[in-house]
């Protein structure tokens, strides 16, 4: 209502474009990031890393390094082994070497850590550590990983035929995971009038946050307590893991995630740097700082994607999709450290039926080891939804081409309809809500889709190459229900704790951790709307595990769905108590009161009102008999389902046929994430995600050569767009609330990356396939596009 809107504007509540509470410190250089931390007696740790992708370690000579002034220690696996810390568990249920244990399995792997007075001396000392290697053949092609004669990467798993997720059928096999009705799907395909099949690669890329990973570990020998400041998206999980690994009780492990310079999924897991710096601090009894450089970040921390996918669709001749079959070969690198809920080794790839009513489907994923860096889930992927979305959105286009059907028309024809929600998908997810036809139509109207197609036909006759990309995606975010979602056994709830002070200001903390998404601003907006106190006086904190309630962290766009829900529910508990206090103050029955948005009034007597500041004060000095003083509440929220935001994106590209260079003429993105807490923040999230999508589709990759050398892992080659390359973004939205969420809000942070990449790639493919190119893989940089043009003799 208009009243509500006006009140929300005044309070800085839900729906308003509230300016950010975080900005004041960041625009003045007063943020507090890990490398800003200096502690008395602090020393610096850095790694000796492997030049080889696969080699045995014959000897490590520390003497020259140790003899250097300012060097305190050189730690190797031998030093960690007595503590059982030369290996560590991963979120995927595998284990990973902390320091090379007898061999190295990927290039730049951690071999030894040097501890020195400062980072300059540490760098010198690293050069003085001599490591003798005996090279082994490197395995880089996942398609060869399960050959009979493939080299054994994981000696430590020899004889283990049972992995964390399934039987292992080969020494380089990690898991097989499948879902859906295989037989019924095969039947649909054998009977269908039309079938298409397409191989496609989602290349290995990297989230590359501008701030790399790092930590300051400080063990207090007197108190027996460990404090670690670190770049973590999930600090409570890190505390539990560190306590388990070190044997230090969780109450004596103080994990603090301060301001984080972007995470993008790179900072979910535990890296060897955190572990070795912590061990070094325990050994030396002084703080140890570890800050990696960019090349180390790109080449040794969590990569994203590397899914080799084969897709099949079965359809009627008029374009009704009857069945879907997906097979994926997943390259996980040398250790399976893929961040996932523990029962989901391929994440939520089974959302790959997308926005379409496909009754019969089957998907299978095989993970393999290769001599590469671990990772997989990162970079706004929502647990492999990027891959699932790319898969279905490319396949839809492939089918449209085969049928000679328009790409918007085939989508309209197969959309799940608004009245079908909640919709049970063939691969097991229950979509909460959606209105896909309206969204796509709105985009087509805004961009004059028919006019663009006309222009494309005319251009083609003139020999100009233009492509129109569409993507109509469904996301799945907000992991998740504890019945099937857990991280290392901890259910994937999240939490909020809200405390109202006597004078009506508020401190609130959540179990998530912002890395720039604006939580300190937007959680305050939820509280402001729920309890009628202005958000400017609501302080939001996250990241300190001593003070914040236990939560599972921020990734998978789960903050709004889970901690956002907990925040609203905790605030409602406060409001319920406030109502009792108000009834006591006004000497009426609780049932006679109604909520005004800022307090309570007696029904039918508008001038009998009391507001929240008065109630807060009374909570500390005048509560009904038998009621606890104070005004605060906690909520741990176990979501009943995920949220399923969606979007319709359109991209227009023009390709120079002689150089292969692509100009993005237009990118139009409509997102629907239900109730919008802060439109300004959502728009910023979408801009950022689209920029990533542009980068991934058009230039980013982390290739390995045949010897296992990682290539392009620095900003010399790794494509991060500047302002010059980055397109101008046009945004739009519709609002289809999540029926199960306390405020109807869905997650959104990753949508634009998930949906953006297929939209760009579809535009390139749309431009080229009219010449018979078939599917072309990403990245679509000028050289690659030119290669396609050249093969088709279009560049002459």
Site string for other proteins, 212-251 (x = CB under 8 A): x---------------------------------------
Applying CB under 8 A, does 520 fall inside the site for other proteins?
A: no
Q: What's the min distance (Å) between Cβ of 395 and other proteins?
A: 28
- 53-61, 259-267, 534-542, 638-646 -> range binding other proteins (CB under 8 A): 259-267
Applying CB under 8 A, does 120 fall inside the site for other proteins?
A: yes
Applying CB under 8 A, does 724 fall inside the site for other proteins?
A: yes
- 290-298, 303-311, 399-407, 704-712 -> range binding other proteins (CB under 8 A): 290-298
Measured distance CA(293)–CA(295) in Å, rounded = 6
- Looking from the CA of 37 toward its CB, the CA atoms found within 13 Å total 27
Applying CB under 8 A, does 83 fall inside the site for other proteins?
A: no
Applying CB under 8 A, does 726 fall inside the site for other proteins?
A: yes
Length of the chain: 796
The token pair that represents 431 in the structure block: 């979509």
What sign for the dihedral angle of Cα 482, 486, 491, 492? negative
Among 294, 320, 459, 460, binds other proteins (CB under 8 A): 294
> Do 566 and 527 meet the contact criterion of CB atoms below 8 Å apart?
no
Measured distance CA(181)–CA(322) in Å, rounded = 13
690 sits in the region (left: phi over 0; alpha: psi -120 to 50; else beta) called: alpha
DSSP 189-207: HHH-SEEEEEEEEE--B--
Q: What's the min distance (Å) between Cβ of 694 and other proteins?
A: 8
Among 260, 330, 652, 670, binds other proteins (CB under 8 A): 260
Among 13, 93, 163, 209, binds other proteins (CB under 8 A): 209
Instruction: Quote the crossing angle between the two packed helices 385-403 and 407-414, to the nearest 10°.
Output: 110
Measured distance CA(308)–CA(669) in Å, rounded = 27
- 84-92, 125-133, 202-210, 366-374 -> range binding other proteins (CB under 8 A): 202-210
Applying CB under 8 A, does 257 fall inside the site for other proteins?
A: no
Given 96, 198, 233, 525, the catalytic residue? 233
DSSP 306-335: -EEEEEEEEE-TTS-EEEEEEEEEEE--SS
Q: What's the min distance (Å) between Cβ of 567 and other proteins?
A: 20
Largest Cα span, the chain? 89
Residues 6+ apart with CB under 8 A from 624: 580, 581, 583, 584
Applying CB under 8 A, does 69 fall inside the site for other proteins?
A: no
Q: What's the min distance (Å) between Cβ of 692 and other proteins?
A: 8
- Which residue's CB is nearer to other proteins, number 434 or number 518? 518
Applying CB under 8 A, does 151 fall inside the site for other proteins?
A: no
Range 29-58, binding other proteins (CB under 8 A): 29-31, 33, 35-36, 38
- 78-86, 459-467, 509-517, 575-583 -> range binding other proteins (CB under 8 A): 509-517
Dihedral of the alpha carbons of 248, 249, 254, 260, in degrees to the nearest 10: 80
Applying CB under 8 A, does 303 fall inside the site for other proteins?
A: no
Residue with tokens 């080659």, as numbered in its chain: 717
- Which residue's CB is nearer to other proteins, number 19 or number 499? 19
- Which residue's CB is nearer to other proteins, number 233 or number 373? 233
Number of Cβ within 10 Å of residue 710's Cβ equals 23
Q: What's the min distance (Å) between Cβ of 366 and other proteins?
A: 32
Applying CB under 8 A, does 382 fall inside the site for other proteins?
A: no
Q: What's the min distance (Å) between Cβ of 444 and other proteins?
A: 23
Among 7, 15, 19, 441, binds other proteins (CB under 8 A): 19
Backbone phi and psi for residue 110, each to the nearest 5 degrees, phi listed first: -70, 125
Q: What's the min distance (Å) between Cβ of 39 and other proteins?
A: 13
- Please work out the total of residues on this chain that contact other proteins, with binding judged by CB under 8 A: 58
Applying CB under 8 A, does 715 fall inside the site for other proteins?
A: yes
Q: What's the min distance (Å) between Cβ of 296 and other proteins?
A: 10
Measured distance CA(60)–CA(47) in Å, rounded = 13
CA 251 to chain centre: 29
- 276-284, 301-309, 336-344, 723-731 -> range binding other proteins (CB under 8 A): 723-731
The residue among 232, 379, 440, 351 whose CA lies nearest residue 752 is: 379
Residue with tokens 């898969």, as numbered in its chain: 391
- Which residue's CB is nearer to other proteins, number 501 or number 513? 513
Write out the E strands in 693-774. Answer: 730-733
Whether 750 is catalytic is yes
- 71-79, 99-107, 554-562, 687-695 -> range binding other proteins (CB under 8 A): 687-695
> Do 463 and 796 meet the contact criterion of CB atoms below 8 Å apart?
no
Applying CB under 8 A, does 15 fall inside the site for other proteins?
A: no
Applying CB under 8 A, does 68 fall inside the site for other proteins?
A: no
Q: What's the min distance (Å) between Cβ of 73 and other proteins?
A: 21
Applying CB under 8 A, does 692 fall inside the site for other proteins?
A: yes
Measured distance CA(717)–CA(472) in Å, rounded = 31
Measured distance CA(324)–CA(530) in Å, rounded = 44
Applying CB under 8 A, does 747 fall inside the site for other proteins?
A: no
- Which residue's CB is nearer to other proteins, number 294 or number 459? 294
- Which residue's CB is nearer to other proteins, number 643 or number 752? 752
> Do 741 and 645 meet the contact criterion of CB atoms below 8 Å apart?
no
Among 5, 67, 169, 210, binds other proteins (CB under 8 A): 210
Applying CB under 8 A, does 603 fall inside the site for other proteins?
A: no
> Do 107 and 55 meet the contact criterion of CB atoms below 8 Å apart?
no
Whether 499 is catalytic is no
Given 312, 520, 598, 750, the catalytic residue? 750
Among 183, 723, 772, 796, binds other proteins (CB under 8 A): 723
The token pair that represents 650 in the structure block: 């359109």
Number of Cβ within 10 Å of residue 723's Cβ equals 6
- Which residue's CB is nearer to other proteins, number 38 or number 796? 38
Among 630, 683, 712, 782, binds other proteins (CB under 8 A): 683
Q: What's the min distance (Å) between Cβ of 262 and other proteins?
A: 4
Number of Cβ within 10 Å of residue 63's Cβ equals 10
> Do 340 and 410 meet the contact criterion of CB atoms below 8 Å apart?
no
Measured distance CA(136)–CA(150) in Å, rounded = 12
Applying CB under 8 A, does 729 fall inside the site for other proteins?
A: yes
Q: What angle do CA 164, 165, 166 make, to 5 degrees?
A: 110
The token pair that represents 457 in the structure block: 């036909």
- 75-83, 258-266, 339-347, 595-603 -> range binding other proteins (CB under 8 A): 258-266
Applying CB under 8 A, does 127 fall inside the site for other proteins?
A: no
Residues 6+ apart with CB under 8 A from 474: 351, 354, 355, 389, 431, 434, 436, 644, 645, 646
Q: What's the min distance (Å) between Cβ of 676 and other proteins?
A: 14
- Which residue's CB is nearer to other proteins, number 210 or number 605? 210
The token pair that represents 311 in the structure block: 């897709």
What sign for the dihedral angle of Cα 521, 527, 529, 533? negative
Applying CB under 8 A, does 722 fall inside the site for other proteins?
A: yes
Measured distance CA(118)–CA(580) in Å, rounded = 59
Whether 380 is catalytic is yes
Residue 532, helix vs strand vs coil: coil
How distant, in Å, are the alpha carbons of 160, 253, 700 from that of 331? 20, 35, 17
Given 239, 380, 569, 601, the catalytic residue? 380
Q: Which residues are catalytic?
A: 233, 380-381, 750
Residue ranges in contact with other proteins by CB under 8 A? 19-20, 22-31, 33, 35-36, 38, 118-120, 208-212, 259-262, 264, 293-295, 515-518, 680-681, 683-692, 714-716, 720, 722-724, 726, 728-729
């Amino acid at each position: 209502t208009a009243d509500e809107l006006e009140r929300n504007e005044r309070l800085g509540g839900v729906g308003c474009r509230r300016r950010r509470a975080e900005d004041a410190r960041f625009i003045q250089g007063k943020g507090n990031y890990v490398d800003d931390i200096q502690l008395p007696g602090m020393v610096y740790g850095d790694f000796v890393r492997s030049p080889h992708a696969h080699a045995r370690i014959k000897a490590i000579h520390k003497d020259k390094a140790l003899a250097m002034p300012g060097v305190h220690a050189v730690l190797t696996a031998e030093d960690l082994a007595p503590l059982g810390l030369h290996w560590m568990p991963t979120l995927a249920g595998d284990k990973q070497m902390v320091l090379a244990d007898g061999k190295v399995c990927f290039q730049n792997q951690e071999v030894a850590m040097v501890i020195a007075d400062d980072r300059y001396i540490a760098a010198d000392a690293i050069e003085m550590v001599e490591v003798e290697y005996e090279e082994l053949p490197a395995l880089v092609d996942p398609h060869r990983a399960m050959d009979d004669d493939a080299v054994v990467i994981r000696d430590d798993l020899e004889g283990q035929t049972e992995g964390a997720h399934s039987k292992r059928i080969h020494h380089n096999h990690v898991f097989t995971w499948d879902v859906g009705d295989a037989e019924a799907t095969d039947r649909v395909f054998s009977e269908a009038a039309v079938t298409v099949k397409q191989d496609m690669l989602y290349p290995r890329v990297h989230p590359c946050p501008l701030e790399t990973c790092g930590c300051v570990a400080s063990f207090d020998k007197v108190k027996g307590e460990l404090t670690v400041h670190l770049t973590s998206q999930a600090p409570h999980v890190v505390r539990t893991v560190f306590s388990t690994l070190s044997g230090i009780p969780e109450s004596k492990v103080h994990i603090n995630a301060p301001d984080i310079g972007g995470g993008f999924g790179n900072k979910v897991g535990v890296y060897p740097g955190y572990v070795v710096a912590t061990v070094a601090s325990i050994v030396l009894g002084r703080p140890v700082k570890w800050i990696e450089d960019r090349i180390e970040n790109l080449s040794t921390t969590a990569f994203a994607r590397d899914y080799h996918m084969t897709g099949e669709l079965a359809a009627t001749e008029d374009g009704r999709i009857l069945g879907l079959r997906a097979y994926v070969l997943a390259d996980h690198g040398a250790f399976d450290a893929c961040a996932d809920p523990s029962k989901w080794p391929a994440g939520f790839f089974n959302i790959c039926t997308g926005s379409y009513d496909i009754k019969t489907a089957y998907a299978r994923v095989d993970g393999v080891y290769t001599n590469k860096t671990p990772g997989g889930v990162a970079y706004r992927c929502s647990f492999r939804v990027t891959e699932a979305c790319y898969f279905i959105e490319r396949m839809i286009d492939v089918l449209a081409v085969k049928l000679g059907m328009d790409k918007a028309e085939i989508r309209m024809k197969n959309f799940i309809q608004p009245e079908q929600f909640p919709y049970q998908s063939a691969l097991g997810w229950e979509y909460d809500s959606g209105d896909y036809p309206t969204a796509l139509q709105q985009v087509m109207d805004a961009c004059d889709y028919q006019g663009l197609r006309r222009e494309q036909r005319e251009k083609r006759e003139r020999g100009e190459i233009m492509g129109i990309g569409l993507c109509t995606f469904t996301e799945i975010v907000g992991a998740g229900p504890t019945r099937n979602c857990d991280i290392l056994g901890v259910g994937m709830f999240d939490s909020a704790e809200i405390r109202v002070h006597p004078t009506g200001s508020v401190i609130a903390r959540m179990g998530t951790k912002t890395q720039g998404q604006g939580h300190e601003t937007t959680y305050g907006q939820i509280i402001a709307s729920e309890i009628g106190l202005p958000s400017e006086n609501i302080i939001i904190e996250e990241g300190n595990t001593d003070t914040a309630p236990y939560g599972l962290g921020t990734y998978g766009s789960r903050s709004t769905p889970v901690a956002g829900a907990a925040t609203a529910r905790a605030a409602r508990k406060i409001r319920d108590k406030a109502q009792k206090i108000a009834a006591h103050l006004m000497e009426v029955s609780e049932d006679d009161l109604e909520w005004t948005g800022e307090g309570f009034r007696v029904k039918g007597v508008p001038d009998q009102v009391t507001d929240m500041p008065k109630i807060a004060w009374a909570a500390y000095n005048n509560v009904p008999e038998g009621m606890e003083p104070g005004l605060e509440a906690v909520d741990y929220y176990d979501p009943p389902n995920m949220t399923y935001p969606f979007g319709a994106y359109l991209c227009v590209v023009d390709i120079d046929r002689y150089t292969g260079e692509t100009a993005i003429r237009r990118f139009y993105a409509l997102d629907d994430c239900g109730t919008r807490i802060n439109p300004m923040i959502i728009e910023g999230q979408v801009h950022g995600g689209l920029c990533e999508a542009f980068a991934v589709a058009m230039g980013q990759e982390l290739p390995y050569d045949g010897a296992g050398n990682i290539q392009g892992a620095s900003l010399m080659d790794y494509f991060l767009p500047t302002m010059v390359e980055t397109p101008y973004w046009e945004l739009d939205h519709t609002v289809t609330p999540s029926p199960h969420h306390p405020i109807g809000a869905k997650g959104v942070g990753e949508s634009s990356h998930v949906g953006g990449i297929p939209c760009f790639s579809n535009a390139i493919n749309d431009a080229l396939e009219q010449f018979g190119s078939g599917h072309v893989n990403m990245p679509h940089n000028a050289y690659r596009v030119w290669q396609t043009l050249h093969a088709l003799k279009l560049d002459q």
